[in-house]
Amino acid sequence: MSRARSALVVVVLLVLHVTVFAHLRPFGVAPDVLLLGAIMGGALGGPNYGGRHGFICGLLVDLMAPGPFGLAAGIYGAIGHGTGLFSQAIDSQDPRVGPLTAGIGSVLGICGYGAGLAVLGTEQYVSLGLLRVALIVAVVNVLLSYFAQQAYAWVAAASSTYARPAAAQSVVN
pLDDT in tens, the chain (173 residues): 678 899 999 999 999 999 998 888 889 898 999 999 999 999 988 899 999 999 999 999 999 888 789 999 999 999 999 999 998 888 777 778 889 999 999 999 999 999 998 888 877 667 788 899 999 999 999 999 999 999 988 888 876 544 444 444 444 44
Question: Which amino acid makes up residue 68?
Answer: P
Determine the pLDDT at residue 48. Answer: 93
Cβ(72)–Cβ(85) below 8 Å: no
Q: Please tell me the class of the 3-160 domain.
A: mainly alpha
The three-state secondary structure class of 66 is coil
* Beta-carbon contacts of residue 99 (< 8 Å; ≥ 6 apart): 142, 145, 146
Cβ(98)–Cβ(125) below 8 Å: no
Global pTM?
0.85
